[in-house]
Amino acid sequence: MIIEDIIGYPLRDFPITAMRDNLLQWWILSGRRDFPWRETNDPFKVLIAEILLHRTKAEQIVPLYQPFLNQYPDIHSVAKSSPDELAKLLRSAGLNWRWKLLHSMAVNIETKFNGQIPRSFEELTSLPGVSHYIASAVRCFAFGYPDVLLDTNTVRVAGRLLKLPIRDASRRSKLFREVLEKFIDSKHPREFNFALIDLAAAICRPRSPAHKDCPVSRYCTFYQEASDEGQNSEKDKLPLKGDQQRLSITEAG
């Protein structure tokens, strides 16, 4: 099934530019969460952060990240690490079992890629512990490629904006990939992906999303329909976040 069949109008008629601009404006002005791994585009540091962050809360990784880089400043030092010492360091975040993955990933990078973090999706995903998400995150945050990041959080926001059915498998779905590829700001992919992640974490939460504080509520089908059904009488009080290119979904249909 194609997107148009589900949402009932061509995706190009969704006000993508306006939605994206408001998202980025919100993120720059107030939505940005600061994490040490966001201050660098060093491929090694980005890769380590993404491996540590996999299925782990960011707050858990903050105290571990800099000590890790102090002890293991490059891929060579991880490849040569002693399992005991690496596991001991990771234990502070409850991730001691992840030492094997990190070690074998580093050895692979040393032997297959001459110690350089590869850029291609295929090469990155050939490494132990590097999922599609991690490969895309490294490509985007380290190398600036406009790769989209599909996980339960980004899929939730995209799904709600277009009122697409969200399932467990959605983060692997072609349909959601296509939507996010249309949404991403190809000139500022890092910022767009950070903004989407931060919106999902702080505003478009799984439960009790903060629609009233949401910078893209005006474009959100889920919210509009809930408002139309009288489930949210605050809709008309929402501030317009100035954008002349805005179209309503009704106008677009």
CA 206 to each of CA 199, 221, 227: distance values in angstroms, whole numbers, following the listed order: 11, 16, 18
In angstroms, the CA 175 to CA 177 distance is: 5
Residues that contact ligand SF4, how many (by CB under 6 A): 14
Among 106, 149, 161, 166, binds ligand SF4 (CB under 6 A): 161
Instruction: Write out the two tokens for 143.
Output: 């190398």
CB of 187 to ligand SF4, least distance (A): 22
Please tell me whether residue 241 binds ligand SF4 under the rule CB under 6 A: no
For ligand SF4, the closer CB: 25 or 104: 25
Among 136, 153, 170, 217, binds ligand SF4 (CB under 6 A): 217
Q: What angle do CA 162, 197, 53 make, to 5 degrees?
A: 135
Q: What angle do CA 26, 134, 74 make, to 5 degrees?
A: 105
CB of 212 to ligand SF4, least distance (A): 9
CB of 43 closer than 8 Å to CB of 142: yes
Which residues in the 186-205 window bind ligand SF4 by CB under 6 A? 203-204
The radius of gyration of the chain from alpha carbons, rounded to an integer in Å, stands at 20
Please tell me whether residue 211 binds ligand SF4 under the rule CB under 6 A: yes
Among 124, 176, 222, 241, binds ligand SF4 (CB under 6 A): 222
Q: What angle do CA 160, 165, 169 make, to 5 degrees?
A: 110
Please tell me whether residue 177 binds ligand SF4 under the rule CB under 6 A: no
For ligand SF4, the closer CB: 156 or 190: 156
CB of 104 to ligand SF4, least distance (A): 39
Please tell me whether residue 223 binds ligand SF4 under the rule CB under 6 A: yes
Task: Kindly give the residue spans of alpha helices, DSSP state H, lying in 127-247.
Answer: 132-143, 152-162, 174-183, 189-202, 221-228
Q: Which residues bind ligand SF4 (CB under 6 A)?
A: 157, 160-161, 203-204, 209-211, 214, 216-217, 220, 222-223
